[in-house]
Chains A and B, each alone.
Chain A
Amino acid sequence: MSRPGATRPDQAGKEATWEGARDPRIVDATAEFPGPRLKRIWETKPGLLGWFATVDHKEIGKRYIVTAFLMLIAGGLEALAIRLQLSRADQHLLTPEQYNQLFTMHGVTMIFLYASPVLSGFSNFLWPLLLGSRDMAFPRLNALSYWIYLAAGVFLYAGFVVGLGPDDGWFNYVPYASKTFNPGVNIDIYALGLILLGISTTVGSANFVVSFLRTRAPGMSINRVPILTWGTLTASAANLLAVPSVSLAFFLLWMDRQFDTHFFDASQGQPLLWQHLFWMFGHPWVYAIVLPAMGMVSDALPTFCRRPLVGYTPVALSTVATMALGFGVWVHHMFATGLPTVALSFFSGASLIITIPSAVAVFAWTATIWTGRPVIRTPFLFFASMIVLFVIGGVSGVMTGSVPVDWQLTDTYFVVAHIHYVLIGINVFPVIGAAYYWFPKFTGRMLNEKLGQWNFWTMFVGFNLGFFPMHLLGLLGMPRRIYAYSAGMGWETTNLIVTLGAFLFAFGVLLFLINVAWSLRRGPAAANDPWGGATLEWAVASPPPVYNFAVIPQVVSRHPLWEDSLAEGEARSSLTRGLLLDRGRETIGTTPLDGQPNLILEMPGDSLSPVILAAGLSLVFAAALGHAWWLTGLGVLICVAALITWFWPRRVHGDVPRESAHG
């Protein structure tokens, strides 16, 4: 494969010292070397300080997932309260104000605090393992992204728990959300909280983009990366371009409310500007919270079909194409606002065309099952059912993408049904399936299969019972966001069925949580590769060692662990023999397209800068909420100090004296 890594005496001379260039050795990993040495280098110090300072992507990924699931539970409980209120006509369990806050927080929680962060969590944990690397490109940025996410979650919920939560729906239209009609602090909390969250999303996205481009294992050219990384890369690139739109919209709204600017008022500004800015972000965002989940299915479903994914290249390309088109469909959220017909036609056309790349994935998954030898385990059930739910959500999407149908159905429960089929169907189902699939890698234990089957069928039946009838309610004319309805509208029985379905679905999620709690302690221990997976994460222990890979693997195909059984060619990936990078926290940097090694990346150690920066930013936003400007200033100073520490140049760039034992 390569020449043995001989020491070149001349290398220790001037060339090596002035910029620390070196030719890393290639070694065989054994139990004694270099694992124990790397463990000492990469380990986080125990104790509270270490807990706050860690930059280990696996730790951060798990924190993301746990926090996102707590949010899913919160949003789910809010949904159950809503469903109780709507279970009968003329119900008065909740006041209208409580109801407004509940349905708003339900949307905010699920869309912003659960759906995207949970995918970030999976990607954070999995990416370096999938790519054959030791961490993300910017480990501290990763920690920062998590801490800000946590802070924004607390920020948004702080108002809600004292009865001052946002209450104009998650898309927060003006003039409802203007100071005149909503004078309380509710909307200001939403505005500032979402800008804060936007920072988290943005830095996280930048990290994914650069990790994809620069930290893949040698040989992993971009036509060999797992589809999950395509999904997250695409979503991240879109986030970089789209998130500023919503952050700006909320900033301008906050200015309108606090400093009497005139961006969104009808007399001087333009209320529709809000809808444009919101949906220019909002629609790409919808794809950002499903494409990584679709990627997880594309990678994990083939494991249970015992064959590679059908149509890797079309699926990867359609992922990117979906996102690109996704930037040109935002006006379909605004069909009923009186825009010119030519605009409606264009955006309607674009919304219909986007079904083509989406369908590519559906056909690829179906063909994979069709031509494979399916092994029906819990993850398979979740992934396969996702295809069905995606098709249903897709069809109702095509319907509302057509202008005349949309005019009939907009603001009815039909749209509520559509969004839930899309978001639960293509986010929650794959995520739970992925949790079953990767739980052994996360924890070293398997989830219980029998309980898993119960878990799946309860969720699947409950979901369809709860959400399919909503289509009917919409066709019958039931508007969204109403907190009560009169008897005799013909909606009672259907609403009761929907509520029962919602509770059954929630019970299914509860079974999942019970399974997790039980299996964490009693689940059977997992081997490295319990499912017979094809990708690199299954080559390392479950759970993986802190440094991931003892030596950097070298990849020659899309399925490094299936090369022998597929027998597609002579070449074999090398998993236990590879680059030795052990002079501090190091990993390999490769070229963006071909995956040729061209840089030894020095990874930063654990640091308190991220958590301090997140605290400083939170102070800036909390103080701005109360117009406590001196505290805002203090927050800015904390941020500046944290950033200067962060970027302080390290003067010894790998110019470590050669160790005779290893060099």
Chain B
Amino acid sequence: MAEAIRYGQDLPVGARGRNSTGWWGLLCLIATEGSLFAYLLFSYVYIAIQRGSAWLPDPHPSLKLAGPNTLILLASSVCVWWAERGIKRNHRGQLLAGLAAAVILGTAFLGIQVLEWSGKDFSLSSGSYGSLYFVITGFHMAHVIVGIAILLCVLGWSATGAFTRRRHEPVTLGGLYWHFVDVVWLFVFSTFYLSPRLIG
């Protein structure tokens, strides 16, 4: 038996923080997109196990660009977190600065990824390793592009003063999506760049 219903209190209208349908909807999106990357990485591991270590490119993928790039992406997440903290305290300047910094860092990540791509001596069609590498990192880059587009929208809306201390659901949701994209990169990064090191 559930407890009696509590009426007679002020209920927020629309959304208040995570008390919104949008928050739950985004969690659903993250679940399904997270699954997509799980299946992508499963495909990599499945083929890698069957092909053995000789299948990996020689030398193994270098951390020279990917390592710093990972830090750049993580830094962008911190910026988004800082931006949201700003609007919660009614500091619109902090919101704008944080979002702008995240967009710049995200774009830098993309640029370095393109550089990394162009330095590879294998291609999408040269073998199954290349197919997996370019499709999986490509999927992630597509998500980064979408994430930047979302941050740009949120930035634009923030600049026009659409959000207040209590009403900034798009900032919360856009931020969560961006964190998700960053976490996915950690898995992609670990799979392609770190796991070959484990087997020497």
Interface hits, A1-17 → B, CB 8 Å: 2-3, 11, 15
Residue with the highest number of chain B CB atoms closer than 10 Å, among A276, A595, A649: A649
Q: Report Cα–Cα, A224/B46, bound state, in Å.
A: 43
Q: Report Cα–Cα, A439/B10, bound state, in Å.
A: 40
Instruction: Tell me, rounded to whole Å, the shortest Cβ–Cβ distance linking A555 to chain B.
Output: 9
Which of A26, A273, A594 is the one whose CB lies under 8 Å from B46? A273
Which A residues lie within 8 Å of B43 (CB)?
248, 252, 263, 273, 277
Q: Report Cα–Cα, A658/B166, bound state, in Å.
A: 21
Instruction: Tell me, rounded to whole Å, the shortest Cβ–Cβ distance linking B117 to chain A.
Output: 15
User: Which stretch, A65-73, A287-295, A598-606, touches the partner chain B?
Assistant: A598-606
Instruction: Tell me, rounded to whole Å, the shortest Cβ–Cβ distance linking B39 to chain A.
Output: 5
Known: A202-B32, A259-B124. A209 touches B24 (CB 8 A): yes
Which B residues lie within 8 Å of A649 (CB)?
157, 162-163, 169-170
Interface size class of A (residues with CB under 8 A): 35 or more
B15–A599 contact, CB under 8 A? yes
Which B residues lie within 8 Å of A213 (CB)?
24
A244–B24 contact, CB under 8 A? no
Q: Is B68 an interface residue (CB 8 A)?
A: no
Known: A209-B28, A241-B31, A649-B162. A601 touches B5 (CB 8 A): no
User: Which stretch, B69-77, B79-87, B98-106, B125-133, touches the partner chain A?
Assistant: B125-133
Which A residues lie within 8 Å of B50 (CB)?
270
A261–B162 contact, CB under 8 A? no
A241–B35 contact, CB under 8 A? yes
Q: Is B19 an interface residue (CB 8 A)?
A: yes
B25–A138 contact, CB under 8 A? yes
Instruction: Tell me, rounded to whole Å, the shortest Cβ–Cβ distance linking A529 to chain B.
Output: 25
Which A residues lie within 8 Å of B153 (CB)?
644, 647
A599–B11 contact, CB under 8 A? yes
Residue with the highest number of chain A CB atoms closer than 10 Å, among B10, B36, B127, B135: B10
Which of B3, B131, B169 is the one whose CB lies under 8 Å from A262? B131
Contact indicator per residue, chain B 8-30, by CB within 8 Å of chain A (1) or not (0): 11111111100111001100110
Q: Is A565 an interface residue (CB 8 A)?
A: no
Q: Report Cα–Cα, A649/B16, bound state, in Å.
A: 14
Q: Is A336 an interface residue (CB 8 A)?
A: no
Interface hits, B24-58 → A, CB 8 Å: 24-25, 28-29, 31-33, 35-36, 39-40, 42-43, 46-47, 50
A19–B12 contact, CB under 8 A? yes
Which of A3, A207, A240, A260 is the one whose CB lies under 8 Å from B7? A3
Interface hits, A272-288 → B, CB 8 Å: 273, 276-277, 280
Q: Is B2 an interface residue (CB 8 A)?
A: yes
CB nearest neighbor in A for B125: A260
A653–B32 contact, CB under 8 A? no
Which A residues lie within 8 Å of B2 (CB)?
219, 221, 223-224, 594-595
Interface hits, A633-663 → B, CB 8 Å: 640, 644, 647, 649, 651, 653-655
Interface hits, B139-154 → A, CB 8 Å: 149, 153
Q: Is B191 an interface residue (CB 8 A)?
A: no
Q: Is A50 an interface residue (CB 8 A)?
A: no
Which B residues lie within 8 Å of A651 (CB)?
162
B46–A210 contact, CB under 8 A? no
Interface hits, B103-124 → A, CB 8 Å: 124
Which B residues lie within 8 Å of A259 (CB)?
124-125
Interface hits, B88-105 → A, CB 8 Å: none
Q: Report Cα–Cα, A261/B125, bound state, in Å.
A: 5
Q: Report Cα–Cα, A554/B130, bound state, in Å.
A: 58
Instruction: Tell me, rounded to whole Å, the shortest Cβ–Cβ distance linking B40 to chain A.
Output: 6
CB nearest neighbor in B for A592: B24
Q: Is A269 an interface residue (CB 8 A)?
A: yes
Interface size class of B (residues with CB under 8 A): 35 or more
Instruction: Tell me, rounded to whole Å, the shortest Cβ–Cβ distance linking B170 to chain A.
Output: 6
A270–B46 contact, CB under 8 A? yes
Q: Report Cα–Cα, A273/B131, bound state, in Å.
A: 14
B167–A269 contact, CB under 8 A? no
Q: Is B62 an interface residue (CB 8 A)?
A: no
Q: Report Cα–Cα, A651/B169, bound state, in Å.
A: 12
Instruction: Tell me, rounded to whole Å, the shortest Cβ–Cβ distance linking A234 to chain B.
Output: 14
B11–A598 contact, CB under 8 A? yes
Contact indicator per residue, chain A 234-247, by CB within 8 Å of chain B (1) or not (0): 00000011111101
Q: Is B6 an interface residue (CB 8 A)?
A: yes
Q: Is A425 an interface residue (CB 8 A)?
A: no
Which B residues lie within 8 Å of A598 (CB)?
11-12, 19
Which B residues lie within 8 Å of A205 (CB)?
28, 32
Q: Is B190 an interface residue (CB 8 A)?
A: no
Q: Report Cα–Cα, A209/B31, bound state, in Å.
A: 12
Which of B3, B19, B31, B127 is the one whose CB lies under 8 Å from A268? B127
Q: Is B164 an interface residue (CB 8 A)?
A: yes
Instruction: Tell me, rounded to whole Å, the shortest Cβ–Cβ distance linking A497 to chain B.
Output: 43
Which A residues lie within 8 Å of B166 (CB)?
18-19
Q: Report Cα–Cα, A20/B47, bound state, in Å.
A: 55
Q: Is A589 an interface residue (CB 8 A)?
A: yes
Residue with the highest number of chain B CB atoms closer than 10 Å, among A245, A268, A280, A601: A268
CB nearest neighbor in A for B4: A219
Which of B8, B14, B31, B125 is the one whose CB lies under 8 Å from A240? B31
Which A residues lie within 8 Å of B28 (CB)?
205-206, 209-210, 240
Which A residues lie within 8 Å of B124 (CB)?
259-261
Q: Report Cα–Cα, A215/B9, bound state, in Å.
A: 18
Instruction: Tell me, rounded to whole Å, the shortest Cβ–Cβ distance linking A629 to chain B.
Output: 15
Which B residues lie within 8 Å of A600 (CB)?
11-14
CB nearest neighbor in A for B9: A23
B19–A247 contact, CB under 8 A? no
Q: Report Cα–Cα, A218/B8, bound state, in Å.
A: 13
Which B residues lie within 8 Å of A18 (CB)?
164, 166
B19–A599 contact, CB under 8 A? yes
A653–B36 contact, CB under 8 A? no
Q: Is A159 an interface residue (CB 8 A)?
A: no
B39–A245 contact, CB under 8 A? yes
Q: Report Cα–Cα, A276/B40, bound state, in Å.
A: 12
CB nearest neighbor in B for A557: B1
A647–B131 contact, CB under 8 A? no
B135–A654 contact, CB under 8 A? no
CB nearest neighbor in B for A4: B8
Contact indicator per residue, chain A 565-603, by CB within 8 Å of chain B (1) or not (0): 000000000000001000000100100001111111110
Instruction: Tell me, rounded to whole Å, the shortest Cβ–Cβ distance linking B58 to chain A.
Output: 16
Instruction: Tell me, rounded to whole Å, the shortest Cβ–Cβ distance linking B30 to chain A.
Output: 10
Q: Report Cα–Cα, A3/B167, bound state, in Å.
A: 30
Which A residues lie within 8 Å of B131 (CB)?
255, 261-263, 269
Which A residues lie within 8 Å of B39 (CB)?
244-245, 248, 277, 280
Q: Report Cα–Cα, A23/B43, bound state, in Å.
A: 52
A270–B47 contact, CB under 8 A? yes
Which B residues lie within 8 Å of A640 (CB)?
149
Residue with the highest number of chain A CB atoms closer than 10 Å, among B21, B43, B157: B21
List the interface of chain A (C-beta within 8 A of B): 2-3, 11, 15, 18-24, 26, 137-138, 141, 202, 205-207, 209-210, 213-215, 218-219, 221, 223-224, 240-245, 247-248, 252, 255, 259-263, 268-270, 273, 276-277, 280, 554, 579, 586, 589, 594-602, 640, 644, 647, 649, 651, 653-655
Could you list 6 A-B pairs, sorted by A, with CB under 8 Å?
A224-B2, A245-B35, A247-B36, A259-B125, A589-B19, A599-B14
Beyond A241-B31, A597-B6, 13 additional contacts (C-beta under 8 Å) are A23-B8, A23-B10, A24-B11, A221-B2, A242-B35, A248-B39, A262-B128, A262-B130, A277-B43, A596-B3, A598-B11, A598-B19, A654-B13
Interchain residue pairs A-B with the least CB separation, the first 4: A654-B13, A206-B28, A261-B131, A244-B36
